[in-house]
Each structure stands twice: as structure tokens, then as C-alpha cells.
Structure 1
Amino acid sequence: MAAGLAAVMLLGATGFAMAAEEHGLPGASMSLWWALPFVGLLLSIATGPLVYPHLWEHHYGKITAAWSALAVVPMAFFYGLPAASEAVLHALLLEYMSFIILLFALFTIAGGILVAGNIHGTPMVNTTLLVIGALMASVVGTTGASMIMIRPIIRANDNRPFNAHVIVFFIFLVSNIGGSLTPLGDPPLFVGFLRGVDFFWTTTHIFKETLLVGGIVLAVFIVLDVVLHLREEGMPKIKDPTPDSKVRIRGLANMPLLAGVIAAILLSAAWKPGIALSVQGVEVELQNLVRDAIIVLLALTSLVITRKEYRAANGFAWEPIREVAKLFVGIFICIVPVVAILKAGMDGAFAPLVAMVTLPSGEPNDLAYFWLTGVLSGFLDNAPTYLVFFELAGGNAQHLMTTLASTLVAISAGAVFMGALTYIGNAPNFMVYAIAKNQGVNMPSFFGYMAWSGIVLLPTFLLTSLVFF
């Protein structure tokens, strides 16, 4: 709002004297300086919670607004308010709103499902819990699955001297890799869905990669957990703070609501009435409005019908989704000029990046797409990184799903899988870390976690890239 008001005041004073002649943003003539707000915001997100946590906790909204204003005001000044407002509204109305509505619904509905009781965390039990969580991730999202499963797996292992590795592999499998099969699973895949990728495209095209990566990581976990469990046999016993009790699933009324979310998304993909609402030149299609309205209604229904004690036992709070909403509105605004430059291809300022992911024959370099998308996703958040490389590959969903299917697989797999490389690569990672640490688990530091991911994940991704890309 501050950025928009500043733009209106600025352009009112200049009388639109410097408005662009052509409709939209001229990406071919825009320099790399236009990427500064986007890069600055991502670096703030990456460093804020670790380098200056107190300042970040209280002012991340203001920091996001400042970077957003740095993107919007110059666009309005140099290219005119109509071009700038249409570009920003396009990102907010067609992508951000649906994106945050889905996250809000999955967060709210999954937060009402409680796994109560406790069982002892043997290697077989832990493996079973990780598999269940990973399978859930593509249905309720990595955030939803992490919220539902993290406390049960902490309780199962809270009397073990060695338990931090269980949480590390939980982040690998449940908070990241498991969410690769549907747009519900991980934010970058839903961004792709909003850009036109079919709902079940990832299910059919990334299944083999997911099976290989997930299978290797799970096998490494089983071996490690068995070895550590055997070592614990000769150590002094720790009194179990949460004795074993019958496991029960509470809040089952939320299950039909999750099914309703999936049905609403499939409806929007199948039903095309050809009716749209125009907002400042941006066409918002009726099926998307209906989908988002249904999803919001289902989330509100969950709040009404779920008992408060279930959410309390899950540690449910609104701050995580509030933070995601504020940060991602800034990301979707700041990425607008970046997308405009990427659309210019070799004629734009990102020509060197285009060259890096292009073979001498002119075909996309899938190996480069996989690793560049993946490594940057590990440090800059995987949803905006996916969007950058999606646009870099042409941005045409139909072309990417068919002729360039292997390239879209590389982008999707890199964004989802390698979001596990650091605590900040995917939204649930840091949330799981904070919950586990608060529950007394001796979690590795930021760089300690990267040592784990480097030893386990990087060789796995290297093998995957050799097999598939």
C-alpha cells in the first residue's frame, strides 16, 4: 500500500511525462539494477532470522515493504503508472492471491488434525513415520505434513540419546522431497500450476526421480538409525518423558475438507466457462475466483468445526502463515521486473544466465537447469527460484509440458528436492528446526545442518542428475 501510494503521488507530480510508449514493461531495455529489490529481499529472508533475529522478528513486514517500494516506485516513474500497476496487479491477482489462499487453507485444515498418543521410536517405527509423512506431503503440503507429523516423531524419540538425525531426515523427506508429486505438495509446484502446468503432470513426470531420491535418503536413514540404536543399547537409560500410549488421530472431520481443496483445484483446471472479471486490464477468470472462494470457505469451516484443544496440542499459531503472507507479497512484487527481463531472453540483461542453461545447439541444458534451480533454491527459497527458471525456459506451460518436458522436470525436481539443502530453502524447514529445538532436541547449527545435507543429499542429487539429466 505504501509503495502504491508513493507511486501515485510521484506520478501525479510528473504528469506521466516519462510513461513508456509501449504497453507493459520493456524487458529488453531493462538493466540488471531492476533485479536489486528481488535479490535484496531474498537475501534479507535468508540472513534475517539467523544474523539479526530480533530485528527481523519485529520488522520483517517493514523490510519487505521497503524492498517492494524500491521495485514499484521506479517502475511507475520510468514506465508510467498504467504499465507498472498492470504488471504488479497481474502478479498479485493471478498468482499471489491463489498461492497464499492455498497455503492458508492447507495450514489451517492440517493444523486441526492431531496425532495423539506415543510409540517408541525404534528404527522401524521411525521409518514408518517418515514414509507416512512423506506420502502425506503431496496431499496436505510439506507445511501441513510437517505440522501434523513433527510432534509425534519428536515424542517417539524423546528418550533416545541420539535423536537429532531423525529430525534432520524428517526435514529431508517430509518437509521437502515428499512434496514433489502434486501442486499441493510444495509452493513452487503450485506456482507452476498457476502458470498453466496440469495438476497431475508432476505426478506422472517426477515419480521416478522422487522414488530414486526418496529411496536413497530413506535407506541411508535406516542404516544410520539402526547403528545408533544399537549404540544406545549399552548407554544409561533415559526416562521417557512421554510414555507409550495408544495412538489416536483427532480432528478427522478435516479430512473431507482436504478432499474438498483438491476437488476445487481440479474443478478450476477442468471447468473453463470463458468468463473473466477485468481489474485494471488484468483478466481474472471465473473458475479461479470460484476455486479460491471454495478453498477459503473450507478453511473457515475447519476453524469452526475443529476443537480448540486439538489445535492447542499441535502448537497451532497464526504467526507462521502471517509471515509467509507478508514475505511472499513482497517476493511476487519484486520479481515483476525480473520476469520482464527474463522474457526478453538473449536480448535481455540476463543473457549470460540464458547462455548457461542453453546448449550450443540452442536446446535447454537440463543438467544446468536442475543444479542451478536446486542450489539457488537451497539458499533463496524455492518458490521464487522456480519461477525465475520457469520464465527462463520460456514461461509457456504447454510448451514446457510437452516439447520441453525434461526441462520442466529438471526445474521442478531441483526446486523441490534441493530446498532441503539448508534451513531456509523451504518454508517448513526452519519451522521444524524451531519446534524440535524448543522440545529439547539438540539440533545442528545452520552450517552443521548443511554438513548433513552435503554428505547425504549432494551425492544423491549427483546420482539423480547422472541418471535423469
Structure 2
Amino acid sequence: MKALVPIIPLTIMPFDLFAMDFSGHNLSLFWGIPFVGILLSIALMPLFLSRLWHYHYGKIITFWTMLFVLFALYSFGLQITINLTAHAIIAEYIPFILLLLALFTVSGGILIKSDVPSTPKLNVGLLAIGTLLASLMGTTGAAMLMIRPLIRANRNRKYAVHTIIFFIFLVANIGGGLTPLGDPPLFIGFLKGVNFGWTVKHMLLPVLLNSLLLLAIYYVIDHYYFSLQYGNLSTLTSISETKNVKIYGMSNIFLLVTIIACVLMSGIWHSSVNFTVLGTHIALQNLIRDIIFIMITLFSMLITPKQVRAGNEFNWEPIIEVAKLFIGIFITIVPVLAILRAGSHGALAPIVLLVTNEQGQPINSMYFWLSGILSGFLDNAPTYLVFFNLASGDATTLMNILEKTLLAISMGSVFMGALSYIGNAPNLMVKSIAIQNKINMPSFFSYMKWSVCILIPVFIIDNLVFFVFF
């Protein structure tokens, strides 16, 4: 393989071609090019080359992924490259996509039908329910369960985009901040020794404040759009007199609870048995969890009546899109996270050093903003872990002496996943389902106009309330 590469003049190669070991201390920022290439492709190609992107996005993601793999092969050799990609796929991507697949399939087998017409109050109620469920069953589970009823409730509304956007803000992200079950970063903290009760106690007020602020903002916006279409609430009397709510596919609710139990089991049970595949260690509890996810997916397909999935307009395209996009992201993000983990000794040292003052004390506001902004574009779980280790790495210290720092990392990693479509996996899935239901969702940057204009002021309030004034 190495013999094929010297046809490119080495003097123009920006990568660390002669590095002996894969270490974040030695990697330059140029190793982030494939990852940035994927991000820019997701952001720009649907705008300027929409037909090409729609039919060939999998090939485009493969191109950027192979660019990283080929340079890794030349720089570090076959064995290290295999170990890097195998770890990204086996230890990170497969558990991630199997959990999403199980949640997507099971929630797609639960049909909630209602004749209740959409009003601003009803929509606020649905968003509030989804936000609460996110901390109990995870942002992905709550998002997949609630997105279709919300779309169905708004099927007669001309203006529905803002409802989906706030759904992503609240249900797919901020609502998951209350418990370790809600979002992967908090679950990582739980595995590292952060008490379940600590998360509930300290994240309760931030989640409540953000949820109330966003629901209030949403109500004002939805009331405006509602008035444009209907004039006033009394108009709805002629639209529907019935208020029936029916739930089909109840057996899938049991499967949903089983998925949550499996996630908890893999975090609490630590088996001494493990396997090694291509240099990647697989713990027994994780293997059992992933096998159960596959079984649940298949069982859900077998027991759910076809009419229920048809009522949900269920198809596989959203999960296929997420699977294709995120396998490239998980592989190409490896060097970026390695550089971050190098801390003050890596190429991103100027950014990392911003979180500590001259006396070596943590600057909690910077922990909040940096862990958050990076989580908006990187995988928020490893980003949380990077800053967790940077602050102390010891859960006991962080829960007591540095509790404000841990709160800043937790809030930033969870809340700011809403800043972009790729900040959290459910974001893209919600967008895909909405598009399939003929809702004209905004592009990558148009979505960010919403998120920056609405969320950044809310996060500024968070910063002032939790890390400046108190």
C-alpha cells in the first residue's frame, strides 16, 4: 500500500506522514480535513448540488472516509489503521447504530392517533411531554416516539417548520439533560462514577429553566403562525369537534422499556469476561446488550401489525441516512478527538487552555461554552469525556470541589447538541422523518439561523445564572 502513495510529492502533503505512532500529541490540524469535509458536504451540497447529494451522499461520505484511511495507511501502517477504524466501528459505531435501530423500529411500531386539532397550547403540551420523556427513555427514544404524533397533529397547519425545530431543541436535546438515561454524555459520566442522584439534583434547574424559556418562546411563535392561518381559536370549532386519542402497538412499549433496561444493565454490570476483535476489546455485557437490541428489532417487526406501521408511514430511509452519515463521522472524527485528548500538548492547545486561568483554576463559563460548541459539531459523548478528564477526571472531586465545572460540562455537552443537525443523532432522524411528511425543513445553515438566534440568548442566560451570578 505504501508503494502507491509516493506518486504524490511529499512536500505538498500537510499530514504527519512520518509519525511513528498515532498520538494526539503529534497530529496536526490537517488530519481534521476529512471530518471537516464531511461536515461541509452535509451543510453545503444539499443547497448547491441537491440532486447529486440526494442520490450519492453515501459515496461522498465514503470518499472522505477513505481519504482519512489512505493517509492513515501511509502514515502509520496497516495494523494501526485497522485498529483505529475497527475501534471506531466496533466499539463506538455498532453499539450506537444498533441502539438507534432498535429505538427507531420499536417507536415506529407505536401509533398514536388523535382527532384533537393542533393549537398552540396543544403543541406546547406535546413538546412538554416529549421533553419529560427524553430524560426517562433517552432523547432518541422520545424523539422517535413523539415526532409522528406531533406531525400528525399539525397536518392541517401551513406553518409547521418551527414546531419541528423546537422539537429538536427540546425533545432531541435539552430534555435529555435530567438523568444519565437521557443523553450519552451524562451516561458516560455515570459510567465514570457520577452519581445518578447528582445529575438529577444539579441538572433539574437548568433543564427546567431552558425548557420553560423555549416553550414560552415557541408559544409566541406558534400563536403568531396560528393566527395567520386561522385568525383565532374559535375557528377550530368548525375543523373538529372530536377529541379521541388512541394508541396502537402497545406491545412495543414493553420493548421500549426493555431497551432502556439493557442500556442501564450495560452501565451497571461489569463482567470480567471480554473479547478482542481486531485489537478492540468488547465487554460481555456490551455484547449481550447489542445482541438483545438486534433481537428486539426483529421481534418488533414480527409482532407489529402492518397497519400500525403503515399508519406511521414507517420506512427505513431515516435510519439508513443516519447510518451512512455517521459511519463516516465516527471514523474521520478519530484524529480530531485524539488532538483534543492531548489537551495543552496538542494542536488545539490554544483552545483547550482557555478553560483554565493563570492560577490553574477552571473557568466554568469557558467549560460550558467550549464543551457545548464542540458538542454541536462533534460527537458529544467523547467531547464530554475530554473535558471531564481535562477538569480532573475524578468523579468524586468533580461532584464536590468542582461541582460547578462538572455542571458546566454536563450542560454544554447536552444542551448545545441542538446547535446543528449533526449535534445529536436524533436531530437528523427527526429532520428526515419531517421531510418524508412533506415538511420543508431548512438547510444546515438555515437551521443554524434558528438555533443561533433562539438558543444562544438562552445559553447566555444559562451562563449568567449558573456560572457568573451564582
Could you tell me the TM-score, scaled by structure 1's length? 0.83
Q: Is the 8 A contact 1:20 1:80 kept in 2?
A: no
Give the alignment of 1:412-431 within 5 angstroms: 412-423=410-421, 425-431=423-429
- Return the letter of the residue paired with 2:24: G
Give the alignment of 1:148-187 within 5 angstroms: 148-159=145-156, 164-182=161-179, 184-186=181-183
> Which shows bigger deviation, 387-396 or 25-34?
387-396
Corresponding position of 2:382: 387
Corresponding position of 2:100: 103
User: Residues 257, 237 of structure 1: CA spacing in aligned structure 2 closer, same or farther, 3 A cutoff?
Assistant: same
User: Residues 241, 49 of structure 1: CA spacing in aligned structure 2 closer, same or farther, 3 A cutoff?
Assistant: farther
What does the per-residue CA deviation read over 1:183-225, in whole Å, with 9 as the maximum and x for residues that have no partner? 5544555666788877776444422211111121122334454
3-state SS of paired residue (1:248) = strand
Q: Is the 8 A contact 2:134 2:141 kept in 1?
A: yes
Q: Is the 8 A contact 1:161 1:238 kept in 2?
A: no
Aligned match for 1:340, one of 318, 328, 338? 338
Aligned match for 1:325, one of 320, 323, 326? 323
Corresponding position of 2:354: 356
Corresponding position of 2:257: 259
Aligned match for 1:374, one of 372, 375, 391? 372
Q: Is the 8 A contact 1:155 1:242 kept in 2?
A: no
- Once residues 254 and 38 of structure 2 are traced to their aligned partners in structure 1, the CA distance between those partners, rounded to angstroms, is 38
- Once residues 230 and 206 of structure 1 are traced to their aligned partners in structure 2, the CA distance between those partners, rounded to angstroms, is 36
> Which shows bigger deviation, 138-147 or 234-243?
234-243
Corresponding position of 2:13: none
- Once residues 428 and 97 of structure 2 are traced to their aligned partners in structure 1, the CA distance between those partners, rounded to angstroms, is 19
Corresponding position of 1:14: none
> Which shows bigger deviation, 459-468 or 178-187?
178-187
Corresponding position of 1:41: 38
User: Residues 51, 454 of structure 1: CA spacing in aligned structure 2 closer, same or farther, 3 A cutoff?
Assistant: same
How many Å apart are 1:438 and its aligned residue?
5.9
Q: Is the 8 A contact 2:43 2:443 kept in 1?
A: no
What does the per-residue CA deviation read over 1:333-389, in whole Å, with 9 as the maximum and x for residues that have no partner? 1122223323322222121121223322233333223223333444x3x5x255245
What does the per-residue CA deviation read over 1:18-63, in whole Å, with 9 as the maximum and x for residues that have no partner? 9976xx5232222221121222222222333333222122222222
Q: Is the 8 A contact 2:380 2:423 kept in 1?
A: no
Q: Is the 8 A contact 1:118 1:152 kept in 2?
A: no
User: Residues 153, 88 of structure 1: CA spacing in aligned structure 2 closer, same or farther, 3 A cutoff?
Assistant: closer
Q: Percent identity?
A: 48
Is residue 280 of structure 2 the alignment partner of residue 285 of structure 1?
no
Corresponding position of 2:302: 304
Is residue 61 of structure 2 the alignment partner of residue 64 of structure 1?
yes
User: Residues 362, 389 of structure 1: CA spacing in aligned structure 2 closer, same or farther, 3 A cutoff?
Assistant: farther
- Once residues 281 and 437 of structure 2 are traced to their aligned partners in structure 1, the CA distance between those partners, rounded to angstroms, is 48
Q: Is the 8 A contact 1:120 1:157 kept in 2?
A: yes
Corresponding position of 2:9: none
What does the per-residue CA deviation read over 1:106-153, in whole Å, with 9 as the maximum and x for residues that have no partner? 111111111112202233322221111112223444344333323333
Q: Is the 8 A contact 1:30 1:349 kept in 2?
A: yes
3-state SS of paired residue (2:244) = strand
- Once residues 295 and 3 of structure 2 are traced to their aligned partners in structure 1, the CA distance between those partners, rounded to angstroms, is 34
Q: Is the 8 A contact 1:7 1:72 kept in 2?
A: no
Is residue 37 of structure 2 the alignment partner of residue 74 of structure 1?
no
Aligned match for 2:131, one of 121, 130, 134? 134
Corresponding position of 1:3: none
How many Å apart are 1:289 and its aligned residue?
0.8
3-state SS of paired residue (2:117) = coil
Corresponding position of 1:214: 211
Task: Name structure 2 gaps, 5 residues minimum.
Answer: 7-16
Q: Is the 8 A contact 1:251 1:306 kept in 2?
A: yes
User: Residues 295, 385 of structure 1: CA spacing in aligned structure 2 closer, same or farther, 3 A cutoff?
Assistant: closer
Aligned match for 1:115, one of 103, 106, 112? 112
Corresponding position of 1:456: 454
RMSD of aligned residue pairs (Cα, Å): 3.5
Q: Is the 8 A contact 2:388 2:409 kept in 1?
A: no
Q: Is the 8 A contact 1:390 1:408 kept in 2?
A: no
- Once residues 133 and 389 of structure 1 are traced to their aligned partners in structure 2, the CA distance between those partners, rounded to angstroms, is 24
- Once residues 62 and 445 of structure 1 are traced to their aligned partners in structure 2, the CA distance between those partners, rounded to angstroms, is 20
- Once residues 260 and 61 of structure 2 are traced to their aligned partners in structure 1, the CA distance between those partners, rounded to angstroms, is 31
Q: Is the 8 A contact 1:147 1:314 kept in 2?
A: no
Could you tell me the TM-score, scaled by structure 2's length? 0.83
